[in-house]
């Protein structure tokens, strides 16, 4: 599942190859992948626009275009955005092809059809797409104080809080479990019971889990691929996610799996006790 580290990996790769390129054509093999405007308008309005920058906000990849336009992409669960040469083979889950002026194309593939493309004409319309996102966890401006304010403001368990994109942008099921393990905090731990030290550990856990993911070019458990179609490496380095039954890397206790907020949740019952600590 593409989360912040996976989208950031794609962003960094694409940035070096598509900035300055111009879209010259669009082929939608599944028009339902266009969120806005209509698929017909999308096909008409994208060609001719030049890519000026490649950015990321939470799990959104954002191509800044000339004249203030922008193309935002959300991969949801199984989406891929791959730069391939025109005429290269096309996979069975191909949903859209965005042709560029250098003989390459961006292929949007999505097995489960949850991913969406958003083409918007100005900053206000882009802000509307991104309106609900909380702070960027890897920004220098996201401090322990910010996390403390969030934790004091919200009354809930830690896992649903961290999954909420309005609270913090970019974490998903994998990196939430990894961050909580690093922090030594149980997924069901209530925000009200967190000490200042717990909050500090949580901040560090979030940052370290995400940075490791980026260093390893993302986590490929099934469908994630980078902009070249290559799998990531972080799945080899996960501490608890999908590791139930295997020894905790810190204490050796078998990792357990439970269901929290409707998600498979992995944790060490010894290193992440539910009682305050």
Partner DNA sequence: AGACGAACCCGGACGC
Partner DNA sequence: TGCGTCCGGGTTCGTC
Query: Residue 179 CB, nearest distance to DNA (Å)?
Result: 13
Q: Active-site residue 59, yes or no?
A: yes
Q: Active-site residue 109, yes or no?
A: no
The smaller minimum CB distance to DNA, of residues 111 and 277, is found at: 111
Which residues is 243 bridged to in the sheet?
Answer: none
What would the two tokens of residue 27 be?
């082929």
Q: Active-site residue 192, yes or no?
A: no
- Name the active-site residue from 57, 263, 270, 273: 263
Cα–Cα distance for residue pair 238/173, rounded to 1 Å: 12
99: three-class secondary structure by DSSP: strand
The smaller minimum CB distance to DNA, of residues 66 and 192, is found at: 192
| Residue 45 binds DNA, judged by CB under 7 A | no
Q: Active-site residue 263, yes or no?
A: yes
Length of the chain: 277
What would the two tokens of residue 25 be?
């054509």
The smaller minimum CB distance to DNA, of residues 156 and 230, is found at: 156
Which residues ranging from 167 to 206 are in contact with DNA (CB under 7 A)?
172-174
| Residue 113 binds DNA, judged by CB under 7 A | yes
What would the two tokens of residue 157 be?
């368990």
- Name the active-site residue from 21, 49, 56, 59: 59
**Residue 227, phi-psi category: left (phi > 0), alpha (psi -120 to 50), beta (remainder):** alpha
The b-or-e profile of 195-220 (16+ CB within 10 A means b, else e) is: eeebbebbbebbeebbebbbebbbbb
Contacts with DNA, 121-160, as mask; x by CB under 7 A: -----------x---------------------xxxx--x
The smaller minimum CB distance to DNA, of residues 111 and 235, is found at: 111
Binding residue count for DNA, defined by CB under 7 A: 29
Query: Residue 112 CB, nearest distance to DNA (Å)?
Result: 4
In degrees, rounded to 5, the angle at the alpha carbon of residue 175 between the alpha carbons of residues 172 and 178 is 145
Residue 114 in contact with residue 78, Cβ under 8 Å?
yes
**Residue 262, phi-psi category: left (phi > 0), alpha (psi -120 to 50), beta (remainder):** left
Contacts with DNA, 246-275, as mask; x by CB under 7 A: ---------------xxxx-----------
Residues that bind DNA (CB under 7 A): 1, 3, 32, 58-59, 74, 76-78, 93, 111-114, 132, 154-157, 160, 163, 165, 172-174, 261-264
Catalytic residues: 2-3, 59, 263
């Amino acid at each position: 599942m593409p989360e912040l580290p996976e989208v950031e990996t794609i962003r960094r790769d694409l940035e070096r190859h598509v900035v300055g390129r111009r879209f010259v054509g669009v082929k939608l093999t599944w028009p339902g992948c266009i969120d806005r405007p209509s698929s017909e308008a999308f096909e008409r309005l994208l060609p001719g626009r030049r890519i000026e920058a490649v950015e990321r906000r939470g799990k959104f990849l954002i191509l800044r275009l000339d004249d203030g336009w922008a193309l935002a992409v959300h991969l949801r669960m199984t989406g891929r955005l791959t730069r391939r040469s025109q005429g290269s083979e096309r996979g069975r889950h191909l949903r859209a092809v965005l042709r560029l002026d250098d003989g390459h194309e961006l292929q949007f593939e999505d097995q489960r059809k949850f991913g969406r493309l958003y083409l918007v004409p100005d900053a206000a319309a882009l802000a509307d797409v991104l309106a609900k996102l909380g702070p960027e966890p890897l920004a220098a401006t996201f401090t322990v104080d910010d996390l403390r304010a969030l934790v004091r403001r919200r009354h809930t368990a830690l896992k649903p809080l961290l999954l909420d994109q309005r609270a913090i942008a970019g974490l998903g099921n994998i990196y939430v479990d990894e961050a909580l393990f690093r922090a030594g905090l149980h997924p069901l731990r209530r925000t009200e019971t967190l000490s200042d030290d717990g909050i500090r550990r949580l901040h560090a856990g979030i940052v370290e889990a995400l940075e490791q993911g980026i260093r390893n070019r993302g986590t490929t458990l099934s469908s994630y691929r980078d902009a070249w179609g290559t799998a990531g490496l972080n799945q080899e380095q996960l501490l608890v996610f999908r590791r139930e039954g295997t020894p905790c890397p810190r204490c050796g206790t078998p990792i357990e799996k439970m269901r929290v907020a409707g998600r498979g949740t992995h944790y060490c019952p010894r290193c992440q006790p539910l009682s305050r600590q």
